[in-house]
Amino acid sequence: MQKVSELKYERVDAVSSLDAIAECAVKAERAENAAELIAARNECLKTLFHYETMSSLAFVRFTLDTRDEYYCAEKDYYDETAPKLNAEYVKFQKAFLNNPHLNEAAKNVGQIVIKQYELGVKCTDDKAVPYRVRENRIVTEYTKLMAETQYEFDGKKMPLAALRKYFTDADRNVRKRAYESLGKTLSGISDKLDDIFDRLVKVRTDTAKVLGYENFTELGDNLLGRISYDRRDIRAFRENVLRDIVPAVTRLKTELSKDLGIKKFMLYDNDTYFAQGNPQPVLDAEQMFDAAKEMYRDMSRETGEFFDMMVETEAFDIYPREGKWGGGYMDEFVEYAQPFILANFNGTGDDVTVLTHEAGHAFNSYMSFVLGHDHDVTLGMETAETHSMGMEFLCHKYMDKFFGDRADQFRYAHLFDALAFIPYGTIVDYFQEQVYSHPEMTPAMRNELWKELEAEFRPWLACDGIPYLENGTRWQYQMHIYESPMYYIDYCLAQSLALQFFLTSRTDYDKALKSYLGFVKSADEFPVLIKNAGLVSPFENGALSDIAGAVSKILEK
């Protein structure tokens, strides 16, 4: 097997790609039968997937070191050309949809593709290309700023990924000082952060206007390929969160604060679950991968083969360093049928969570290659995040390997954190909806909005006295708000399904695993996947109440 570091990269000639896709659009328009129409699509996808593979390779190598001049330039190149290519592909989609043999061709390509094409033509146009290019440049500016910013703590300078280790320290004073370092450092670049976001809001609003939308919110939802639900459903989900999840988490956090001996629950206490500190892995990174091999081999044949492949191809980059992108993600290189995981291990329990989370994404990618799925079918991110969050919970069974005699404490903290995350994720989405509905907001107004939403959805939490962050600026280091607008609610929807996999696994692990594997292997619309897996839709009235009640009982025991 070829290692990821050895995968050949070459810059794709965008002009040739544009010409090739345009030629395919003409063929789709002139196709005299379904077979010719499908052949034109296959030819178009070959060009598209080659471009996407090389673009992903350039992006990944850029994130490994954002100071690398070569791959920084390559990423800039794809940032410039991708919107043009996407606009050309939408012209192909229009030609495909307008062909008189569409219904016959749809029997082969499937209705999801047709729905995606119909949504795609609403999301881009030649007029929007300059705005999308400008947006890409600004996002890269934010990515580089956050990756290259260093935080001083205890006489050392470190990236944010390394500083996060101290956010869950057993010593409350250490946690407080770590957040003070975070706030002071962000304060020093606050003008840049506000300016970048001002420009992002403006360019995204302009893009929406030129495409005929009232504001960016609906466009943002459409760009994420939401073909099975819309903003009305998200608002209904939000109300369910406020009614059913928030009171449950508030009650649990209040009880936890008593156990921890904390009178006022601060932002720097929010990720702490035990007075002696959260459980840490008893393994180093190398041992952790050996344990993960055993875990995935025992879980199922497919998961074992998947993880062995990932290790053999060295498809991981896990250590934080200066200049490296600060988050975690899974990407894939379609032409090489290869997933890749980036993480930033810091020696905390989060390392195990990130490993299992991103492995859930990568496992779905691997299975899609094995099963020969159509990679033009882009399932929603709520589905993708169910793959990852569901995997986290199915790995609970094996946590003794990673945490020894504190495995149950990890399970408790992870479950508690999963439930408590839903209100936070809802804030992130609600904040963006309000900002893009009122693009005239000033930085001060946006910060005030964040504070109001925190008080409504996380009433147990305070930021008083934490430099800069007390002003309502917590959102500025939530990268998704800058880099992936309107994405974050997908985590919340997925968490509500992942918790159902967990609850089933408590009484029948094999049933939960079978249901999960069926979910991962299927390429269908979100409601169909939910039904086939025997889960309750998060949009259903009362669904979150049942989940909150069941999880609360387990935590209280």
pLDDT tens digits, residue range 399-448?
999 999 999 999 999 999 999 999 999 999 999 999 999 999 999 999 99
Q: Is the distance from CB of 329 to CB of 313 less than 8 angstroms? A: no
* Model confidence at 356: pLDDT above 90: yes
The pair of three-digit structure tokens given for residue 113, joined into one six-digit string: 């593709």
Task: Return phi, psi of residue 485, to 5°.
Answer: -60, 140
pLDDT of residue 249: 98
Average pLDDT over residues 2-9: 96
- Kindly report the number of other CB atoms within 10 A of residue 243's CB atom: 14
The per-residue pLDDT for 13 is 97
b/e map 455-486, b = 16+ CB within 10 Å: eebbbbbbbeebbbbbbbbbbbbebbbbbebb
DSSP reduced 3-state for 467: coil
Residue 164 DSSP code? G
Residue 323 corresponds to which amino acid? G
Average pLDDT, the chain: 95
Q: What is the tens place of the pLDDT at every residue in 82-93?
A: 999 999 999 999
Tens of pLDDT, residues 272-316: 999 999 999 999 988 999 999 999 999 999 999 999 999 999 999
Ordered by start, the domain boundaries in the chain are: 4-117, 214-280+407-557
Question: For the residues 100-104, what does the mean pLDDT come to?
Answer: 96
pLDDT single digits (tens) 38-75 = 999 999 999 999 999 999 999 999 999 999 999 999 99
Model confidence band, residue 557 (pLDDT cutoffs 50, 70, 90): confident
Amino acid at 43: E
Question: pLDDT-based confidence at 322, cuts 50/70/90?
Answer: confident
Residue 266, phi-psi category: left (phi > 0), alpha (psi -120 to 50), beta (remainder): beta
Contact 12, 50 (CB under 8 A): yes
pLDDT grade, residue 378 (50/70/90)? Answer: confident
48, two tokens: 């598209």
| Second CATH level (architecture) for the domain 214-280+407-557 | Orthogonal Bundle (1.10)
Strands 329-333 and 338-342: what pairing? antiparallel
Query: What would the mean pLDDT of 127-149 be, rounded to a whole number?
Result: 93
| pLDDT tens per residue across span 182-193 | 999 999 999 999
Query: CA dist 252 to 247, 452, 458, Å?
Result: 9, 21, 12
The pTM for the full model equals 0.93
pLDDT at residue 468 tops 90: yes
**pLDDT score of 137:** 95
pLDDT(542) > 90 = no
